[in-house]
Chain A
Amino acid sequence: DQQVKQNSPSLSVQEGRISILNCDYTNSMFDYFLWYKKYPAEGPTFLISISSIKDKNEDGRFTVFLNKSAKHLSLHIVPSQPGDSAVYFCAASASSRGGSNYKLTFGKGTLLTVNP
């Protein structure tokens, strides 16, 4: 069973507009959530994260929103730029006994294309 779901395989937006990428999860033990960006032939690169004690985290053009009751998070990119075109992975983790969140569960990813 897939514990982290990204139901949109792809998304296309115009440069300057907002991109909204969505992610749903089923495991209520998840308490830390991350977004990674991946370009072809490169490894995933960390973008932004949020702890379950927050509902919003912002870093420049990127904002992540967490709705725990709905088990849903979203990544907003505004304004979108052509260089943002990549695959975006949502990932989640649960605190281990030692306190660290080392085991990430990833969604299948969403391919974002930002058109000039």
Chain B
Amino acid sequence: GAGVSQTPSNKVTEKGKYVELRCDPISGHTALYWYRQSLGQGPEFLIYFQGTGAADDSGLPNDRFFAVRPEGSVSTLKIQRTERGDSAVYLCASSLAGANVLTFGAGSRLTVL
């Protein structure tokens, strides 16, 4: 596609539920990133994929968070047993391999009640 596409744009869930957020990167971009932006903060790095593999997942806050990119294109961020503190905008970005500039999607706003 022309840009990075993220779905859903908004997700409201209850504490303890499971959530999946999807990212469709720019066609041809082999690198994919997930960031999280909490209220009043800048985006914070979660995970980086080069192709199908997670090259760096050091930003995932705990083992309730997991992300996959099975075919090297679309990625899904999975959050188990959601907590109120998980409420944030989850941003996906993509880039060409080795590029310094990331192109971001509009984000998925997650609200955990």
Contact = CB atoms under 8 A, between A and B. Distances in A.
Interface of A: 4, 32, 34, 36, 41-46, 49, 89, 91, 93, 96, 98-109
Nearest to B59: A103
Contact of B44 (A32, A102, A106): A106
Interface string B55-71: 11001000000000000
A38 to B, nearest CB: 9
Task: Please give me the 9 A-B residue pairs with the lowest Cβ-Cβ distance, nearest first.
Answer: A106-B42, A43-B104, A100-B98, A101-B100, A43-B106, A44-B104, A106-B43, A43-B105, A46-B101
Contact of B56 (A32, A44, A46, A102): A102
Contact of B101 (A42, A49, A103, A109): A49
B110 interface: no
Given A103-B56, A104-B45, A106-B42, A34 B101 contact: yes
B100 A109 contact: no
A54 to B, nearest CB: 13
Interface of B: 4, 31, 33, 35, 40-45, 48, 55-56, 59, 91, 93, 95, 97-107
A45 B104 contact: yes
Contacts of A89: 42-43
Contacts of A96: 56
Nearest to A98: B98
B6 to A, nearest CB: 8
Contacts of B97: 100
Contacts of A101: 100
A44 B92 CA distance: 10
B39 to A, nearest CB: 11
